[in-house]
Structure 1
Amino acid sequence: MDKITFDAHLQELQKQEKQTQKRFKLDLEDQVAILGEDGPMMGFDRQYIYHTAWAARCLSRIKPAFHVDFSSILYFTAIISAFFPVKYYDFRKSLLSLDAVTTGSVDLVSADKIKTGSLSSISCMHVVEHIGLGRYGDPIDYDGDLKAIRELQRIVAPGGDFLFVAPVGANGLIQFNANRIYNYYEIRRELTKGFHLIEEALIPGGWEHGLVYQPSESLIDSQFHACGCFWLKKYTSSTEEMK
């Protein structure tokens, strides 16, 4: 919709208002012009729709008695809390107020207040790529993302589940101060230190694919800014890790 169409629609609505019972205040000062949403296809944020759908499906199989989410989009915590209690942590304070949700603050670069091996089900999605870039008031730390990954791995209980999502592509780069994009194979290698990879999925750029499970190397290598989803399970013993 362009401005000409917007004005024509407004005039038509004003005309119809005079022909029926007036139920609303309709003045020019209250206009909020939303343009460009009248096309034949509904747009949406592919990465955020698909990665939360993927994580919810993983949790439907995990069936945790209690889940802890670290700084993922709040919509995710709000929805999954309808099915089991959730603790939500972020670097900043959250005012989310819902039954079955508790909130807290944590710096994932050094999450000392959370005991080693204490959490059996956690998620951290579209988070670590921001850590150390200062976007959210955190200190500049080039390796802040790797420190956060190590902390997340530390706090997962033996046999526990870890859902991780981040931007991925064929090459690694920093788009300062928005985010990092990880080389797919390198981030997978980091995540699987001490963990089994239960499931991996890719949300490619573009609209020709949806959520792709077990993506091929050719698809991965063709990506500039895609989204990688990894479900990991921590080894139960050092013997298992050595196998």
Structure 2
Amino acid sequence: MNPTSSTVVSPRPARWWQREPVRSVRRWVEPFAQPARFLRAVWELPRFMREYHRYRKLAGDTMRPTARDLQPVFGQRGSHEIDHHYIYLNAWAARRVLARRPAEHIDVGSQLSFTSVLSASLPVRVVEFRPVPLNLAGIRFVEGSILALPFASGSLPSVSCLHVIEHIGLARYGDPLDPAGTMKAARELARVLAPGGELLVGLPVGRARVCFNAHRIHDSTQVLALFPELRLVEYSGVDDAGRFEENRPLAQLDGCEYACGFFRFTK
């Protein structure tokens, strides 16, 4: 039924796990639920309780927090929690795209934080394996597979695929098992790239291996072999310590355990 101006549409009732007091319990349980964070949460809990009671005294009757609405957040004092791979990779790729200013940029499966921010500067079309419930000006989503991209061969002058191809064929995101998944994805990216266009690819580099079902890690020689039709223009990246450098020597990160290589190719 299509609602008219006189139709009152009732909001959908919240699911049981979205209601209070279940949400209140979840806010307390989540900081302790992960083993890596449990000890930190236990260590910081006494401080949290002291500061909560002190804040209540300071607030008086102005926005005084209640026990029902407490939402403890632990482990964020003193330093930022940074994923060096994604922070540097997304910034690096955005700068390369904006330097060229294509009429439209095509991205395949990268972080939505990258493509949504990039779309504020130029039109972006994103190919996603799963539906994306976003509605933003400047960005369009196309459901499709990286193994069969919905574009003609040699038709795209500006393409990115960041921290994606290492997952293909490992079923991590519901895709079919395929030991050749990364190689097939690379071939599709190269196929759709236009002559003179640029392809930005980011993926884990270092000691070559398969970490099933999280990702594959390649050394630099293997990555170049994935794109035999393309020419490498730039190789930058982040090492195991989170240090970012532009224009690294090609094999510099091959001895790492889990580094990230940023490859800029042209055809």
**TM-score, normalization: structure 2?**
0.80
The answer to whether the 8 A contact 1:109-1:145 is kept is no
The alpha-carbon deviation at position 188 of structure 1 amounts to: 2.5
SS of corresponding position for 2:55: helix
1:215 counterpart = 2:215: no
Aligned sequence identity (%): 34
Q: Which runs of 5+ in 2 are unaligned?
A: 1-42
For structure 1, the residue ranges without an aligned partner over 5 or more in a row are 235-243
1:34 to 64, 73, 78: 73
* Structure 2 residue 242 is matched with structure 1 residue 204: no
Determine the structure 1 residue equivalent to 2:55.
13
Contact 1:119 1:155 (8 Å CA) reproduced: yes
Pairing 1:121-132 to 2, within 5 Å after superposition: 121-132=158-169
**Letter in structure 2 aligned against 1:203:** V
Instruction: Tell me, yes or no, if structure 1 residue 107 matches structure 2 residue 145.
Output: yes
The offset of 1:214, in angstroms, is 2.4
1:183 aligns with 2:219: yes
Secondary structure of the 2:235 match is: strand
User: 2:71 is matched by which residue type in structure 1?
Assistant: V
Give the TM-score taking structure 1 as reference length.
Answer: 0.88
State which structure, 1 or 2, has the greater radius of gyration over its C-alpha atoms: 2
Aligned 8 A contact 2:220 2:251 in 1: no
Separation of aligned partners in 1, 2:261 and 2:58 = 50
> Aligned letter for 1:195?
L
Match of 1:160 in 2: 197
Distance, in Å, in 2 between the alignment partners of 1:217 and 1:122 is 22
Q: For CA contacts below 8 A with separation 6 or more, give which structure has more relative contact order.
A: 1
Contact 2:204 2:216 in 1 (8 A): yes
* Larger strand percent: 1
Cα deviation digits, residues 73-105 of structure 1 (max 9, x gap): 001111111111000111111112111111011
Task: Write the distance in 2 (CA, Å) between the matches of 1:129 and 1:221.
Answer: 16
Q: Which residue of 1 aligns with 2:89?
A: 51
d(CA) in 1 for partners of 2:180 and 2:229? 20
| Aligned-residue offset at 1:218 | 6.9
- In structure 2, distance between residues paired with 1:119 and 1:203: 28
Flag the 1:46–1:132 CA change in 2: closer, same or farther, 3 A.
same
Could you tell me whether the CA contact under 8 Å between 1:110 and 1:147 is conserved in 2? no
Structure 2 residue matching 1:77: 3-state secondary structure: helix
Q: Secondary structure at the match of 1:228?
A: strand
Deviation at 1:31, TM superposition (A): 1.4
Farther-moved stretch of structure 1 (86-95 vs 218-227): 218-227
CA shift, 1:60, in A, is 2.3
Determine the C-alpha separation between the residues in 2 that align with 1:45 and 1:131. 21
Matched residue type, 1:29: R
Structure-2 separation of matches of 1:232 and 1:172? 21
CA RMSD of superposed structures (Å): 1.5
Tell me if structure 2 keeps the 8 A contact 1:203–1:212: yes
1:144-192: CA deviations, max 9, x gaps? Answer: 11101101100111111100000110x211111111111222112323x
Aligned length: 225
